[in-house]
Structure 1
C-alpha cells in the first residue's frame, strides 16, 4: 500500500499541503487539479525522491540495492534520459541484461530504436521507452505524471491500453496525474479532485 496522510512540503517560503490518499495494489487512482498546485511535487514525494516536511508517508519496503518499487514516469521524457547513452544502455540501467525485450512489443517500442540515442527518436517513441524502463519486475506502483499529455490520440490510446493490461496482470497500483478529466474517468477506478 502507498499512503499519504496529513502531509506537506516546504519549498523556501512556499508550503504545499497534499491531499490524503491511499493507493492499493491493482488500483487505478486518478489525481485531477489545476496547474501549479504541486502535483509533480506530490509525485516526487510518493516516489521517495523528495522528503516530506510534515505528515506520514507509507511506502512499500524494498531491500537495499534493489530498485524502488514506486516508479515515477514524468511528462517530459527527454529529461528522463542521459543523452549520451543509447536507448539500450538506458534500459539496461533498470533491467537486467536484455530482459526488457519481452515487453517492447506491448508498448510499441521498435527494437531498431535500441541503438539510437534519445534525441534520435520522437517524443512519443521516447515516452514508450520511458514506460518500459519503469515497469521492471520489481515495480509495484507507477506514478504516471501527465505521461500522454503531449502525444497524439492514437499513441495515448495504445499506451493506456498497454498500461491497463500490465496493471491488471501484475496488480500494479497506478496513480494517474492529469489535467484531462475525461481521460481520468476512462482509465481510473476513482478520481481524487485536488483543489488546493
Structure 2
C-alpha cells in the first residue's frame, strides 16, 4: 500500500497548499484525483512520488519511507518534452527505466524505428508513449499520472490510456490519475477523490 499520512506542504512562507491531507492507494486499483487548476495537484503528485519533501507528514510504501535507488512509485508528467534529455536517443531514454519489457513497448505502441530518434523528432503523443513506457519498469508497483494526455488529440489520448491500462491491470500496478477532466476519471477509474476546495 502507498499511504499519505497527515501531509502538510507550502511554498516558502505562503499558505499551505495541503494541510493534514491523507490518502491511501492500493495496487490493482485505478484511483482518480480530480480538481481544477490551482489546487496543487501537480505538487501533490511530486510529494507522493517522493520528488519533494512535505513540511509535515509522511509518504509510506508498505509502511516504510522510500528507500534509495529505483523507486517502485513512478511519476509521469503532463509535458514529456521536459522529462527527457533532448540530447538522448529514445532508446537511451527507455534505458533509464528498470528493464522495460517488450510487452510494455507493444502496449504503448512504440515502433522500432523510433529508437534512434531524438525527442524533437517525435510528436507529443509519440514522446509521451516513451515517458509512460519508461515508468513501467520491472520493479514499478505504482504509477502517478499528472494530466498526461491533456495536450494530446482525442485519438492519441484513447490509444495511450488503452495501452497503459492494459499493462497496469496485467501486472496489478496501482494507478493514480490526476486530472481536471471528471469525464475521463469516471470512464477509467475504480474510485474518484474530488478536491472540491484548495488545501
Q: Pick the TM interval, shorter chain.
A: over 0.9
Deviation at 1:133, TM superposition (A): 0.4
Aligned match of 2:93:
90
Q: Deviations over 1:29-54 (max 9, x none)?
A: 00001111111111111111101101
TM-score of the aligned structures, taking structure 1 as reference length? 0.93
- The answer to whether the 8 A contact 2:109-2:163 is kept is no
**Structure 2: how far apart are the matches of 1:188 and 1:164?**
10
- The answer to whether the 8 A contact 2:33-2:193 is kept is yes
Deviation at 1:168, TM superposition (A): 1.2
SS of corresponding position for 2:17:
strand
SS of corresponding position for 1:3:
strand
SS of corresponding position for 2:115:
helix
SS of corresponding position for 1:186:
helix
- The answer to whether the 8 A contact 1:104-1:111 is kept is no
Unmatched 5+ stretches in structure 2: none
Aligned match of 1:56:
58
Deviation at 1:101, TM superposition (A): 3.7
Tell me which protein shows more helix as a share of its residues. 1
Number of residue pairs matched by the alignment: 193
Aligned match of 1:3:
3
SS of corresponding position for 1:25:
coil
- The answer to whether the 8 A contact 1:75-1:148 is kept is yes
Matches within 5 A, 1:147-162: 147-162=148-163
- The answer to whether the 8 A contact 1:28-1:175 is kept is yes
Aligned match of 1:173:
174
Aligned match of 2:117:
116
- The answer to whether the 8 A contact 2:97-2:136 is kept is no
- The answer to whether the 8 A contact 1:8-1:16 is kept is yes
**Structure 1: how far apart are the matches of 2:32 and 2:152?**
19
**Structure 2: how far apart are the matches of 1:153 and 1:130?**
18
Unmatched 5+ stretches in structure 1: none
**Structure 2: how far apart are the matches of 1:90 and 1:35?**
29
SS of corresponding position for 1:104:
helix
2:83 pairs with one of 74, 80, 83:
80
- The answer to whether the 8 A contact 1:87-1:115 is kept is yes
The CA RMSD over aligned residues, in Å, is 1.5
**Structure 2: how far apart are the matches of 1:64 and 1:21?**
23
SS of corresponding position for 2:178:
strand
TM-score of the aligned structures, taking structure 2 as reference length? 0.91
